[in-house]
A and B are shown apart, each in its own frame.
Chain A
Amino acid sequence: MEREIISTKQGTFMMVIFVIGSSIVLGSSVEAKQDIWIAIVVALFMSLPMLFVYSKLLTSFPGKNLYYILEEVFGKVAGKIISLLYVWYSFHLGALVLRNFSEFVQVISLPETPQTIIIIFLGLVCLWAAKAGIEIIGRWTAFIFPVGWFVLLITIPLSMSKMHLINIKPVLHNDLKPVLSSAFSFFTFPFAETVIFTTVFNTLRNKKKTFKVYLSGTVVGGAIILLLSVRNILVLGVHITTDLYFPSYMAVRTLSIGDFIQRTEITVATFYTIGVFIKASVCLYAASKGVAKILNIEKSSQIVAPIGFLMMNLACIVYSSTMEMFDWINTYKYYAIPFQIIIPVITLIIAKIKFYVKN
């Protein structure tokens, strides 16, 4: 096994970008309407115990990743089968992320270009990054993040003059049910998707800080999503925000200060590209780690390329239209439950029981 080490800072930044990654552009849940900010806060609190579970798993087996832990806990055969599920999950998620990006590009600017081309070009970069290893991805993230979040958040004060506070009222007048349902959507996408980092964060230099990395990454990412969602509602109003496929893009599009700061929506698209790149690379990395572990291959970087190409293929065929993609986002929250909640919790419980039996 090759040894890779990432620092706490790199880990946190990677997590933040992973969390904001595709949520920044996709208007993921519209049920909560103007109470979307409550939904996001609730989702953050909902995800706290899960983050604890993920990091506890990692710290119980220091230096080992999820696939190793699964084999340790469930035995060789069962462990491999469950590992395969996680390989599928990260492989599929990576493909979905790539497809989201290509749909976005096609809808907003290149209607005639086949999505395959967009997927191939971004996919190749992801493949390269995943092949270079998590260390390289981490260092790249630490380099790009400080620029990225500034560009992303500067649009909020700039659009202040177009905000109307009335758009967010009345607070919590509609039932609590849509808010909770929205909160659950936000929980599964993107907060609990960080389960994928259980296959990555065994490389953290300071193992004791695993939970801290998990917590700060998700909270900072969540806070940015919160700010951007509230910005969208305040600027565009509830009706338009819920009508649009890509509300953030549109909210920034309306921004214009004097005649010189305008058409800044490209900043959103740029940050989205960065986010998708990181997210897809981490997913690809996680998937190839898993396959390597299942097939007992020494170097996981050897199989990154075939898996990456398969991922691009899946991305090309996974949806037939943009509408289908947005339908899937609603189904995704149920699909993700076993991967994000059930298996990690069971694994942790069994691991703890085994640990006590042994002593």
Chain B
Amino acid sequence: MKHVRRMLFSLILISNMLLCGCWNYHDIEKYSLVLGFAIDRNEQENSYLLTAEVLDFEMSGKEAKPTSKLIESKGNSVFDAIRNMLKLTEKRLYWGHADTVIFSQDIAKEGIIPVLDLIFRDAEMREEMHVVISKEKTAKELLEQQTMISTLRSTEIDRILNSQGSLAKAPVVEAYELINELEGEGISAALPAMGIATNAGKKTVELMGTALFKSDKLIGFIDSEETKYFLFVINKVNRGLLIQNESPENQMNKITLEIFKTKTKTKPEYYDGKVVMDIDIKTEVAIAEMETSMDYIKDVNRSKLKKDAEASLKSSVKNIIKKIQDNYDTDIFGFGMLVSANMPSLWDSIGPDWDHLFKKLDVNVNVDISIRNSALVSKSIRKESIRKEN
């Protein structure tokens, strides 16, 4: 009898626990996954317009094909806009898989900290989200464009950013890195910019260089080519191409070098009352394309090519630093941060004045390019007669 009573008691206890229901019971069918979202600002109403791309499935034959839908919603704060989406959908949205967020230029010009807060604070949204600035009028336009290969717009944007490893034409910044740059001293943020381009008659989204920030406000853009040299300075280049004119007179024939390995070491130096940045770029390249009859594989010509490439990389890097100093005056290279890390006591005295100093900062650039190989071919394509001439 005692046994039965004990059994009964534990049964009641267990079913109490199992049947009382759960608070955070999440049914996957009741959720839609958000892939990415765009935030715009409505000036007149002083509200945010949030556009989320939501994963959807389309039956084609027997297979389900992933597609996406856009949901727009307004709100007084970003979170308000997110919750207001429940006015439109039966399903709650799940934000843990969103990997791209696009800010409009308006928001970026006003300051991105207010909209970043939710991404940082919310437990569901992830800090490694990619942040993109829209070069168009609104941010949601980008999500409305057609995709190229993937069927999901945000996923494709995310993949484009991830493949910058072999192109090096946009800084890839995750939300937490951005916050670190915004909070840190002696560094300004730079984010990838995207805009609408026409590809084979259809509009689609393209990377268009870098958006420059001063504190948390957008102040300008630089194009993709300049971005590459900017990435050289901050040591974010993995792979990429260097294109070399054969000579200043001959702009037609170009030699393309593919970067295989590159490393930039930046060191601040302090000479008689002035800070100088020493930038050392060591690059390993291979000859990937030669549009010329000149044999650059030969020893003498190769060292000429090496010298030319070094000189042009050096001047390009110097130019971009100069341009940023003159036109934008924002330390996106993090030179100030390097000074504060390596010469903390000097930084204490010059730190407050850094904005002023950055503009006149001297930069030494040293470039060392070594040519590793020339792919499959040991010569250039040319007539036998020219071959004898060389």
**A117 to B128 CA separation, bound complex (whole angstroms):** 31
**A254 to B342 CA separation, bound complex (whole angstroms):** 27
Q: Which segment of A104-112, A287-295, A316-324 sits at the interface?
A: A104-112
Q: From residue 104 to 148 of chain B, which have CB atoms closer than 8 A to chain A?
A: 123, 126-128
The answer to whether B174 touches A169 (Cβ under 8 A) is no
Closest to A171 in B: B344
**Chain A residues, CB < 8 A from B127:** 250, 253-254
The answer to whether B342 touches A170 (Cβ under 8 A) is yes
Contact of A111 among B123, B338, B341, B344 (CB under 8 A): B123
The answer to whether A173 touches B345 (Cβ under 8 A) is yes
Closest to B177 in A: A237
**A109 to B127 CA separation, bound complex (whole angstroms):** 15
Closest to A34 in B: B341
**Chain A residues, CB < 8 A from B341:** 166, 169-170
**A256 to B130 CA separation, bound complex (whole angstroms):** 13
Q: How far is the CB of B6 from chain A (nearest CB, A)?
A: 16
**Chain B residues, CB < 8 A from A254:** 127-128, 174, 176
Closest to A236 in B: B176
The answer to whether B342 touches A169 (Cβ under 8 A) is yes
**Chain B residues, CB < 8 A from A113:** 22-24
Q: How far is the CB of B30 from chain A (nearest CB, A)?
A: 14
**Chain B residues, CB < 8 A from A111:** 24, 123
The answer to whether A237 touches B184 (Cβ under 8 A) is yes
Q: Given A166-B337, A169-B342, A173-B344, A237–B180 Cβ distance below 8 Å?
A: yes
A352 interface contact, C-beta 8 A: no
The answer to whether A240 touches B24 (Cβ under 8 A) is no
Contact of A240 among B123, B126, B128, B179 (CB under 8 A): B179
**A112 to B338 CA separation, bound complex (whole angstroms):** 44
The answer to whether B24 touches A253 (Cβ under 8 A) is no
**Chain B residues, CB < 8 A from A108:** 123
The answer to whether A107 touches B345 (Cβ under 8 A) is no
> B165-188: contact bitstring with A at CB < 8 Å (1 yes, 0 no)?
000000000101101100110000
B340 interface contact, C-beta 8 A: yes
Closest to A237 in B: B180
Q: How far is the CB of A35 from chain B (nearest CB, A)?
A: 12
Q: From residue 76 to 124 of chain A, which have CB atoms closer than 8 A to chain B?
A: 107-114, 117
**A237 to B337 CA separation, bound complex (whole angstroms):** 12
A239 interface contact, C-beta 8 A: yes
**Chain B residues, CB < 8 A from A236:** 176, 180
Contact of A256 among B128, B176, B177, B180 (CB under 8 A): B128
Q: Given A236-B176, A237-B184, A114–B23 Cβ distance below 8 Å?
A: yes
Q: How far is the CB of A316 from chain B (nearest CB, A)?
A: 16
The answer to whether A240 touches B344 (Cβ under 8 A) is no
Q: From residue 211 to 264 of chain A, which have CB atoms closer than 8 A to chain B?
A: 236-237, 239-240, 243, 250, 253-254, 256
The answer to whether B338 touches A166 (Cβ under 8 A) is yes
Contact of B24 among A112, A166, A173, A239 (CB under 8 A): A112
Closest to A235 in B: B176
Q: How far is the CB of A42 from chain B (nearest CB, A)?
A: 20
The answer to whether A240 touches B342 (Cβ under 8 A) is no
**Chain B residues, CB < 8 A from A243:** 183
The answer to whether B179 touches A253 (Cβ under 8 A) is no
**A250 to B180 CA separation, bound complex (whole angstroms):** 14
**A166 to B181 CA separation, bound complex (whole angstroms):** 13
**Chain A residues, CB < 8 A from B345:** 173
> A251-284: contact bitstring with B at CB < 8 Å (1 yes, 0 no)?
0011010000000000000000000000000000
Q: How far is the CB of A218 from chain B (nearest CB, A)?
A: 32
The answer to whether B126 touches A253 (Cβ under 8 A) is yes
Q: How far is the CB of A259 from chain B (nearest CB, A)?
A: 9
Q: How far is the CB of B96 from chain A (nearest CB, A)?
A: 8
Q: From residue 329 to 353 of chain B, which have CB atoms closer than 8 A to chain A?
A: 337-338, 340-342, 344-345
**A109 to B122 CA separation, bound complex (whole angstroms):** 11
**A110 to B341 CA separation, bound complex (whole angstroms):** 40
**A142 to B359 CA separation, bound complex (whole angstroms):** 61
Closest to A168 in B: B341
Q: From residue 8 to 31 of chain B, which have CB atoms closer than 8 A to chain A?
A: 22-24
Q: From residue 158 to 207 of chain A, which have CB atoms closer than 8 A to chain B?
A: 166, 169-170, 173
The answer to whether B176 touches A109 (Cβ under 8 A) is no
Closest to A117 in B: B23
Q: How far is the CB of A153 from chain B (nearest CB, A)?
A: 21
**Chain A residues, CB < 8 A from B344:** 170, 173
Q: From residue 319 to 373 of chain B, which have CB atoms closer than 8 A to chain A?
A: 337-338, 340-342, 344-345
**A253 to B180 CA separation, bound complex (whole angstroms):** 16
Closest to B341 in A: A169
Q: How far is the CB of A114 from chain B (nearest CB, A)?
A: 7
**Chain A residues, CB < 8 A from B342:** 169-170
**Chain B residues, CB < 8 A from A253:** 126-128
**A55 to B126 CA separation, bound complex (whole angstroms):** 46
**Chain A residues, CB < 8 A from B177:** 237
**Chain A residues, CB < 8 A from B183:** 239-240, 243
The answer to whether A110 touches B126 (Cβ under 8 A) is no
**A210 to B78 CA separation, bound complex (whole angstroms):** 57
The answer to whether B24 touches A110 (Cβ under 8 A) is yes
Q: How far is the CB of A328 from chain B (nearest CB, A)?
A: 22
The answer to whether A239 touches B179 (Cβ under 8 A) is yes
Q: From residue 293 to 340 of chain A, which have CB atoms closer than 8 A to chain B?
A: none
Known contacts A111-B24, A169-B341; 6 further A-B pairs (Cβ under 8 A): A169-B342, A239-B179, A239-B184, A240-B179, A254-B127, A254-B174
- CB-defined A-B contacts under 8 Å, sample of 23: A107-B123, A108-B123, A109-B123, A110-B23, A111-B123, A112-B24, A113-B23, A169-B341, A169-B342, A170-B340, A170-B341, A170-B342, A170-B344, A236-B180, A237-B177, A239-B179, A240-B179, A240-B183, A250-B127, A253-B126, A253-B128, A254-B174, A254-B176
Which residues of B does A touch, CB under 8 Å?
22-24, 123, 126-128, 174, 176-177, 179-180, 183-184, 337-338, 340-342, 344-345
Pick the 6 closest A-B CB pairs, nearest first.
A173-B344, A169-B341, A170-B344, A239-B183, A237-B180, A113-B23
Which residues of A does B touch, CB under 8 Å?
107-114, 117, 166, 169-170, 173, 236-237, 239-240, 243, 250, 253-254, 256
